[in-house]
Amino acid sequence: MIRRIVPLILASMAAAGTPPPEEGIRLTTDRTVDTRSLEAIVRDVIRLSGAKTNDEKAIAIHTWLHQAIFHNAYPVEKAPQSVGPLKVINVYGWGLCGGQHTVLKALFETAGWTVRYRGWDGHTTIEVQYDGRWHYFDVFLKCYYWTKDRKTIAGQDDINADASIVLDAVKDGRVPADHYLCCGDEARGVVDGCKTSKPLPVSRHQDGWASVTGRDQGYNSVLNLPAGATLRLEWKGEDGKAAVKGKAAHSCGNKDFRADKTLGPVLEHYGPRNHSNGRLTYAPDFSRKGDRAGIVLAGSDAKGGKLAASAGQGSALFKLPLPYVYVTGTLEAAFEGGDGKLSVSVDGGKTWESAAGDVSALVAQKYEVWIKAEFPGALAKLRFEAVVEHNRSALPYLLPGKNAVTVAAGKLPEGAALAVTCAYQEATAPDPSKRSRWDGQGVSYGEPKTATLAPGTKTLEVGGNTPPRMLHLEIAVR
């Protein structure tokens, strides 16, 4: 059995819980999961699965999370920031056993159930209680087991009382059909691990494990962009452009989806799982009222397409919060009528540091970047470009056939408009009914297609006989 040694220290941290999503820029489809909140995830997972019983609902949540995150180190951020379930899902997309199971715990609790951790020697698991008993789901090892009478999902005490629940499970067809132990662990290791299991008390919602908190703290999953900003989210990752350790790659290669006929066709286009990147460009046109709407001016006014000081010294404040983590950044400005100064704050304006050019050291692994320009004459131009990290498996994607895609603009500045484009390539694979392996072999792609989307719902019909290769999702406020 593959063991990931982590400290079995339960971190109880105060958390505010998951607030309902506020208005913001949003793109969803009728065939994928909205990941802006735990409540939305549970709602959509159950809806899309058609689950009726509690066992079916728990399986659907477990299976979706298997598809959304992969094995890698714990994602760690410096205090006062923390990594909670939504941040794991939307930003990083990876973690170790205790962290992955904290995310699963949060989803199960959101579904209305009680959860407890069970620590093994070298592994951290959870059990969920519904229908009057405990059930064992392991999203890290990729397993769960129906009882021998097939009436419900077994708990670890059931396995300790009868090891054949696990050892005979494949032969009896009582394991996940698509992804059982798909990263190389063995049934005997599950049995041996359960023997060392120590149940902890019923968990509180705020209880987490290692670096992952039970609920997100100070993290906003809602996207809002000022006019003049464009965010392009790619389905690929660039080497060295991960917020933690420079690169976040699945330690098990593509084992987890190579034999999974549900997950495999969606992810095989991109190679082994890794981090994904996006690019933010912010270059407001000061001659446009909409572009100026989100700028906080002091001692300055808009004149002739510039921001001009009105009393000998003016300033302009630009706020760029994102639900995705900043990795790098470059900042440029053009001043007229005297030397200007640029400063950056990553703590909501509490502290400032003078910076221009490459500001990566300041913005790396932050979510809210504020820029302040001070000038005795005028600010003619400002441009900020950044690379961000996100989890492509949490983005909405297209599937063959009809996709009802809904775009919501939230509250845009007066005179601004939202422009959304989705780029993809239709894919054709060998006879799907005869495929036993999903690693891109034999898949052919059409020419890139771009769909332009405005606020509202639009139906996109996608050809091919397997999910398309997604290229990017671009969101611009102009």
Q: Residue 314's domain is classified under what CATH number? A: 2.60.120.1020
Average pLDDT over residues 79-102: 96
Q: What is the pLDDT of residue 18?
A: 42
Last residue of a domain, one of 390, 419, 438: 390
Q: Is the pLDDT of residue 21 over 60?
A: no
Give per-residue pLDDT as tens, 362-418.
Answer: 999 999 999 999 999 999 999 999 999 999 999 999 999 999 999 999 989 888 999
| Cis ω for the linkage preceding 80 (within 30 of 0) | yes
Is 214 inside any structural domain? no
* Banded pLDDT at 436 (limits 50, 70, 90): confident
Q: What is the pLDDT of residue 7?
A: 36
CB 64 within 8 A of CB 79: no
* Banded pLDDT at 311 (limits 50, 70, 90): confident
The DSSP code sequence of 211-272 is TB-SS-SS----B---TTEEEEEESS--TT-BTTTB--B-TTTTHHHHT-TTTHHHHGGG-S
| Residue ranges making up the domain that contains 302 | 280-390
Q: What is the pLDDT of residue 251?
A: 84
User: Mean pLDDT in the chain?
Assistant: 93
Q: What is the pLDDT of residue 246?
A: 58
* Together in a domain, 204 and 95: yes
* Banded pLDDT at 4 (limits 50, 70, 90): very low
| Distance (Å) of CA 453 to CA 273, 403, 422 | 28, 13, 8
CB atoms inside a 10 Å sphere around CB 208: 29
* Together in a domain, 56 and 177: yes
Last residue of a domain, one of 359, 390, 421: 390
Q: What is the pLDDT of residue 10?
A: 34
Residue with tokens 């913005």: 363
Q: What is the pLDDT of residue 247?
A: 62
Average pLDDT over residues 255-261: 89
* Together in a domain, 447 and 359: no
* Together in a domain, 447 and 378: no
* Together in a domain, 386 and 404: no
Provide, rounded to the nearest whole percent, the portion of the chain with pLDDT above 70. Answer: 95
Give per-residue pLDDT as tens, 187-237.
Answer: 999 999 999 998 999 999 999 999 999 999 999 999 999 999 999 999 999
Q: What is the pLDDT of residue 451?
A: 97
Dist CA 144 CA 157 (whole Å) = 13
* Together in a domain, 383 and 259: no
* Together in a domain, 91 and 173: yes
Provide, rounded to the nearest whole percent, the portion of the chain with pLDDT above 90. Answer: 87
Q: What is the pLDDT of residue 13?
A: 34
* Together in a domain, 124 and 58: yes
Question: pTM of the predicted model, to two decimals?
Answer: 0.94
Number of domains in the chain: 3
* Together in a domain, 355 and 411: no
Q: Phi and psi dihedrals of 33, rounded to 5?
A: -100, 130
Average pLDDT over residues 288-293: 92
SS3 292: helix
Q: Is the pLDDT of residue 11 over 60?
A: no
